[in-house]
Structure 1
Amino acid sequence: MQLASMFVHPLKSARGIPYTRAFASWQGLLHDREWLLTDESGRFITARDYPQLLTIRCTLIPGAILFQAPDTAPIAALASEFDTPSATSVWKDHFTAYHGSPRTDAWFSRYLGIPCRLLWLGRHSQRKQKTSDHGLSFADGYPYLLLNQSSLDELNAQLPEQVSQRHFRPNLVVSGAAPYEEDDWKVVRIGAVIFDVAKPCTRCTLTTVNPDNGVPSADGEPLATLIKTRQLPEGICFGVNLVPRNEGLLQLGDPFEVLELRYTF
């Protein structure tokens, strides 16, 4: 078994960037989900409500990030401009991030058609993880999301049209395991980094949105099939959330090993 794919999503709900090598920190892959759009009250905005966010491309450059969208002139956000503390929230977590240049707010507001603000997580996150004092990015709740490629293959065998890894917005994808074997994983290792499997990842209608054009599927797939086949105690699940025990460099082809199972017989 090995690490087959990696993705960093610099802006929450925008398009991810495939990586062959990335630093795995306590907070997540370096630069993952460190930018966030909010409404004027500070509540987070995602592609669940504004699927056109999926069409925004991000390019990381030293000290800044470049945003590109269809039929729109690109714009760069300089981290040094984001120095005004701003209250925000992601689900039930309330914390402080940093607001910056109004020109980026105007760019996103025009593209989404609603008033919005761009926030930067900052050099040190003020948001804490559920199980430790380590910082957490703007991710939904955990620093890492892992998919098992064999589970995706099994799901695609049940669908009229195949879906990609990107429909599920993972950070890490592993190959060589059996389908849905991840339900039993408790502790895993990728390269030199050890992860605790926190829980199965619950899924929503965002999985039905085409990651290339932001258009929802007419038949509600793959969520319609997951509702029939992946009802777990936690909800409709696909993939698992991870919490690291240490930091380190990950690269494609790194060996993947299950160190401890959740259930023993």
Structure 2
Amino acid sequence: MHLSALYRYPLKSAIAEPLQSSALDSLGLSGDRRWMLVDEATGRFLTQRAEAHMSQLGAAHQDGGLQLSGPGQAPLFVPTPGVDASLRGVTIWRDTLRVPDAGDAAAAWVSSFIGKPTRLVQVPVD
């Protein structure tokens, strides 16, 4: 068996990050799919199936947070929410959970990119 490429998706349904190597944690590749966009009103997660332009959304995993980029948007660094962050109820397929919300500045940025009220949330490693 030969591994020909390794990719991480820091933000679910955004552009992949090519990797040379990666650490693992209890959820798999470190930093993989730890962030996601959710509809502000329903908490339902967003994907490229419904929001095709998410394929142009850049999200780079960085120590301490996530760097967002996209066409027509100034880049934004979003710090990983702390233990005092507000929790938001979200739905992923049939599962519901409460996860830290990344705050209003991140919400404004992703809402502008998506074109409707959207929140950025982070799924912490326990």
TM-score (norm 2): 0.91
Gaps in structure 1 of 5+ consecutive residues = 125-265
Q: Which has the larger radius of gyration?
A: 1
Structure 1 CA distance for aligned equivalents of residues 120 and 64 of structure 2: 16
- The answer for the alignment partner of 1:9 in structure 2 is 9
- Cα deviation, 1:56-94, whole Å, max 9, x if unaligned, reads 112222201110001210111111357211111110111
1:116-195 → structure 2 map (5 Å cutoff): 116-124=118-126
- Cα deviation, 1:204-250, whole Å, max 9, x if unaligned, reads xxxxxxxxxxxxxxxxxxxxxxxxxxxxxxxxxxxxxxxxxxxxxxx
Structure 2 CA distance for aligned equivalents of residues 122 and 85 of structure 1: 11
- The answer for the alignment partner of 1:99 in structure 2 is 101
- Cα deviation, 1:10-48, whole Å, max 9, x if unaligned, reads 000000101111123341211000001101221111111
Q: Aligned letter for 1:95?
A: L
Structure 2 CA distance for aligned equivalents of residues 15 and 99 of structure 1: 21
- The answer for the alignment partner of 1:249 in structure 2 is none
- The answer for the alignment partner of 2:59 in structure 1 is 58
**Moved beyond 2 Å, runs of 4+:** none
Q: Aligned letter for 2:43?
A: G
Classify 1:25/1:80 alpha carbon distance in 2 versus 1 (closer, same or farther; 3 Å): closer
- The answer for the alignment partner of 1:108 in structure 2 is 110
Aligned length: 124
8 Å Cα contact 2:56/2:70 also seen in 1: yes
Gaps in structure 2 of 5+ consecutive residues = none
- Cα deviation, 1:159-189, whole Å, max 9, x if unaligned, reads xxxxxxxxxxxxxxxxxxxxxxxxxxxxxxx
SS at match of 2:4: strand
Structure 1 CA distance for aligned equivalents of residues 90 and 61 of structure 2: 23
Q: Aligned letter for 1:92?
A: R
TM-score (norm 1): 0.45
Structure 2 CA distance for aligned equivalents of residues 122 and 26 of structure 1: 10
Structure 2 CA distance for aligned equivalents of residues 112 and 25 of structure 1: 30
**Cα RMSD over matched residues?**
1.4
